[in-house]
Each structure stands twice: as C-alpha cells, then as structure tokens.
Structure 1
C-alpha cells in the first residue's frame, strides 16, 4: 500500500486525472450493469408470473371438472386429466398435483419431461409448500433439483373439488441466461467505451494542461536565475489565467526585491568605499605631520604652528564626517522622531538672522513663494531636524556661490497635488547653478560633481543626502530647480498641517 501511495505521488497530474476519470467510469459501468441486470431480472420474472397467472385459473377449472369425472367413472384412471394439460400453452412448464402432505399424486404427462431424462425439476419440500400455501395463487421462487439449477417460479392452486393442490412451475434458466448475457454485454461495451474515452481524455487533458506546462518551464528558467521571464497571459476567467496573473505579480515583486537588494548592496559597497576614502585623507594628513614631527622636521616654531593648524583642520573635517555618518545611520534606522507643530516661517526668519551673522557680506532676504511677502507654513515634525535641513542647504549655498551673491529663503503653502496642501521652504541662490547631468545624483551619498573643489572647501558629500533622508522621514520631498536669472533653488515640501490656536481663557463674569 505504501509503495502504491509513493508511486501515486510521483505520477503526473495528467495521468492522475485520466486514471481517476477511468476509475469513475468503471464504477459507473459496474453500477449500470448491476442495475440493468436487476431491472431485467425483475421484468422477466414479472413476465413469467403473468404467464403463470393467466394459465392457473383456466387449468384449475379444467382439472376440477376432469377430477370429478374420473371419480364418477370410478375406474381408477386419471387419463381424463390429460385433456386439460394442453391448456397451459407453456412448452417449458412443469405441473403436478400433490396431496396435503406434499406427496405427488399426479404429474401432468404433457408438461415438462421428468427426471428420467435428466431434466431439472422444481424441488419442493414441506417448508416451501407451507410458504406457498401461506400465499396461494401468488408465484414464488423455489430451488431446482440440480446444483446448477437457476430455480423455478412456482404457484400453488388449491383444487376446490378435492383436497389436492396443483403446483404449476416455470424454469428461470432463460432469465438467468439473458440477465448474464446482458450484464456481460454492458460490462464489455462499457469497458471498451471507458478505454476509448480515457484515450481521448488523455489527449484533451494534455492540451488543457499545456498552459501549466508553460508555467512549469517559465518557473524552471526563473529558478535558473532569469528573473525577467514571465508567464503568458491567459483569460482571467480560467484557473490558469488567475494562476498566471498571480505568478507574474509575484515574479515582479521578487525581481524588484532582488534588484532592490542588489542596488542596496551596491550602494552599501560604494558607501563603504567612499567613507573609507574620505576618512583616509585626513588620517593620512595627520599621520604625515606626526611622522614629520617625530623625525625632527618641525623644529621651526612657525612650521610647527602651521602643522598643528593643518592637523586641527583635518581632525575637525574627520569629526564632521563621522558625525554625518552617524546621523545617516540613525536616519536609516527609522527611529521615532519628536513630532510637534512647526511653522516654517519662524524657522526661515531664524535662518535669515543666523546667516547674516555667519556671512555679513551676503544679502539674505525672507520672501514668499510667489511674492515678496512670506506666509505662515505649518507642519508637524522634529523642529531640530528641520532646522538642520535649512542650515545644510544654506551652508551649501554659501560655500558654492560667489562671495557677495544674494540668497533668498522663500516660505509659503503650495498645492502640488489636487486636494492637498504642502508647507514649502525654498533656498534660492544666484550662483553658477548645478549642471543637468549632476542634478539627478546630488542627493546620493558622497556624490561630488567636482571632488577636488569640494574637498578644498571642506565638504563631505553627505549634506544633501542627510537633507533628503530627513525630509523623507517627515513624509515630504526635496527637489532641485533653476533659479530665474541663474542659480539653483532647493525646494523642501512637507505635508501642511494648520496650527491650532489656543483657546482663550474663560472669563468669570460673576461679581463677588
């Protein structure tokens, strides 16, 4: 049994379907054969019963008259009974007359030939005679004398003119033979039909399962590493169609996940390489001056002061780089931030004042998005981090624009998507701008359009990456645009949330 189960599990779906179909057809054929045989037996037996019922009344009447005649003649002869035996009209019938003890008194000579010729006869014992007597004039099945006998259909007719009973019987051999032949015919024909239907079903099932075979081939190619493969689309109303759509959706997600992982790994490798390179530069500088001092190359106090200044400068640069890396690491961890109402207009005013202190030679103005007058733009977020965003953008604007060029901080509310409002702050400079080929990558970590120039100015290449990460954490977006007249505009958009005005304290008007 276990080996059969194991073999069945290894069998293809196509073979399983056809095997189950063939098995069900065989069961149906057997049920049909059994039902047909049973119905045919009942019909033929009923026909025999009708023949017996038609003959019994006429024969009983004739036998009653003949028996009275033989008694009146009182010659001990029963020849007169032979005259009415022809009323049976049944060539294969057997009739005899028995007394109350079941002993045969007379056998109809024109009925079926007796056992002297080896012919089967109905076997009636007292138990069967009592059962027939309990239902007189109703045919019943009795066994035959031969072991191979199919039985007899027998009816008992009491003779009113005497205490004798007439037993009229017809054999069931023809019934059994016809029923057996019919059952064999149904089984053989049905089995051949089932085999033929199974062969046709095997071919049709192969065509129906062809889409599944295509799915299997596609899955094999995907398993070999070709994630670009897709299953052919089939009608959505079919099972294969729904399977193909679900599988294609899953494959698209898997391919995207693999691509994202590969991109993430590549970005991480590039990040580690860039971070190592950026840290290596100040470390090499510090190490070089240290070794130079150890070998006595800094005996001159002026040279010593210059070397210490360079070491301090590179140390600060390395500290800023490490601080930026830690900031990005914390942002990548998606730690919960402190959320509170923040008005970008207030932050913009503070940034203007701070910039005037840092760069007194610059003209810094606070303006609106479309006019000279700024408007409140409230949102919900981390006040310190939003201030850091504005500070980073202003630092870049001061660092990479010519001295004396003006800056504007624009604050206001703008509808970027129909039905929604965004609080927007823009940092506008009037410098050389950013080349188009660099505009799509400036928010990447350690990306530089001119690395030598940025190293001289102290940039780590992480400032805009930090800006993008903080803005994304606030559910906003950062974009780069050209400033009218020349320059670059960094635009920060965050969801607009109106500030709730505090309720005025209730005044008690009751007089003491």
Structure 2
C-alpha cells in the first residue's frame, strides 16, 4: 500500500472525525425522535383501548368475522378508531374474534399466522411492537375486559415512514456537510502546510547541489517567516537553516583545505621539475662521460635516470591535474579522432606486442574541437591501463562510433576484469586495482583520474563496465564543441 502524504492523512482524519460525529448525532436524533413518536403512538393506543373496552359486548360464539359474517364487531370499529386499528378477543387461549380495519373502514379478518402472534401477549403489560406477517409492524397491548383479554393494536407505518424520512434527511445533510468539510479541510490543511512545503523545497534544493567537489555556495535558506521557533514548522525550518549553515562552513573549510593542497601540488610540481631535470641530466652526463665506471655504479646511474624519468612523469601528471582543478582552458583545435586512435593503437602494439590490438573505425572521418595532446593522452592511458592489468594474449579493441551529437570511443578487452570493490572509484586519484606498490602492477593510480579530468574539461563523460572476461571503458565527447 503506497504511503499517504501528511496532507492526505490530516484531511482523512478530519473527515473521519466529522463522519463519526455526524453518525453519533444522527443516530441520537433518530432514536430520540422515534422514542417521541412511539410515545405518542402509545398514547393513541391507550385512547383506542379505552374506546374498544367500552364497546366490547360480544357473543361467545367462537367464530371469527368472515365474508359470510362481514359486520365489524363494535370493539374494532368503535367511533373514533383510526384506520388500520387491530382488535381481538382472547378467552382461555382461544381467539374469539380478531380483525382489523383497512383505510376505508372495512373489517378484514386476521389470518391464523397473524393472530398466532397475539397469543403470547401478557395482559396488563406495557405496549409492545409486533411484526404481523403481511400487515407490518403494530403497536399492541392486551387488557382484561372481564370476558377475556382484549387486544388492541395500531399500525406503526406512519411512524416508520417518518423515521425513514428523518434518516434520509439526516444522511443527506451529513453527506453534504462532510463533502463541504472535506473540501474546507483540504484547503485549510494545504494552507497550513505551505510553510512545511517551503521548508521541504529548501532542503530539496540543497540535496540537489553537487556538494562532493568544488566550491559550493549554499545561498539556499528556509524563508524567515518559516523559521519562527515559536511554531512547530518554524522549529524545523530554523533547525534546517542551522544545519545548512554548518554544512556551508564545513564545505568552505574543505574547499580551503583542497585549495591549499592543490596549490601545494602545483607549486611542488613546478619546483620538482628543475631538480628532476638536473638529476636526469647529470646521470646521463656521467653515463656518457667515457670514463670506465664499475658495473654497480653504471647500474646505479641507470636506475637513477629511469626513476628520474618516472618521477618526472608523475610530476607532470600531478601538474596537469592541478591545472584541470583550477579550470584552465585546454587547447582548442580540430582533432581527427580516427587518426588519433590509429597513432595510439600503433604505439600500444610497439610497446606490448604480446597483446592483440584491434582498431575499428567508421568509414567517414570524425573531427571534433579539442586538445590533441590531451585527448591522445586519454586514449594512451586507457590502452596502457588495459596493457598493465591484462595478461599477454588479451585482445584489446579500440572502437570509434558516432551519434548525431557525440563521438564515442570504446576501449574493450577480454581480460579478467576489474575488482568490484574498486570499480566505482577507478576514476579517483591514486586508486589502483592492485594495492601493492610493486612497479609491475601498474603506476600511481593517476592515469584514469587524468582521463576523467580531461574528458570532463572537453564537456564529455567517461564510464566503465567490467566483469570476468569483459571490461569496457566508454568515452563520450560532444561533436558540437567545434561549432
């Protein structure tokens, strides 16, 4: 069952309470009116009994009125008796006479089934209501006339009709009142909950902001009139405003810390380039000096030079990431993606001939606007990632496709796949599938971070799908960037 909104619950609760009140009031009104009408019928029955008692001079023939004896006994048709009056003489448990008059005053006999309902009556007891088959409900009473028990009854049809009309009127008025009350409750509740809607809107706006990175200006606040601590909704609004303020302070502190780190990385990268170049240069100069060096010294100089080259690459990567974080514009030129992919795949074949490198290109050339060097670095990093993390003999397919608006580059391999524990964070910095620091297991974890940063700077997106036997990196670059 779907959950109900607070507005719906309040409206239903109000209507339900009003309906309960209407039912109680209506039932009490109907019962009260019925009691009053029944008391009036009992008074009429007492008067009819008095008239019938004065006229009850009957022969004890033991015969009932019938078509062959149609005259109405005096105790049934006595002057002043209302139409439908019922009368009977019961003597010793035997019905001597029993009949009733219709609307025209004609005497009609009671059937055996009908007068059998009269036999259990107690003489002198209070009037009771009986359901006589074929005649409906009657109010009857039994009195002692000295010559037997006189039973007199009056129909309750008029009373029942009045009560039915009252029930219909009360029901109609109650339903109309409930409909109006429901509409009024909906309007009132909606107006009353508008401050809560504004509070929820402010919270929703904050929740949709990209709070995970970059500078975030939290200018959203709950309006002042909805943050009054003297009201229930106001206390919620004030609490949300305080929470937003704390979040804004935390984000400001985080951004300041990130800016310091980026500044440090950028400055350190700049400063490290010169000494690294010097180390590399002096190592190469010493190695080429012509002097005969011990074997271990030659090996050490080679390691110094190779590690200086590796560290220079790391510094360049960090410097590139720092520039991307600062939002610096990349180069903007015409880039033929088919040619770029061809060059990248040829380089991959040369550096790792033990892998199988395939290239799938469309017939028409695909040209976009972008930074050729950085886009080449994106493809080279993806191919290098496939080379490092897949065994020899793995097939790596580089595919270029186009849509009406985008160019799509896919690098697909049939290797073992990416560990699910790091799949969601492969584009973050320093994230590596192998947590060891062995050189053979890969680089520093900056390659895919550079891919994500460069693609984002070009207005595109990058994603990955991976499982045993299939890993696919998908880069989408908008073609309209050259317009």
TM range (shorter): 0.3 to 0.5
Q: TM-score, normalised by structure 1?
A: 0.45
Q: TM-score, normalised by structure 2?
A: 0.48
For the pair shown, the structure with the greater C-alpha radius of gyration is 1
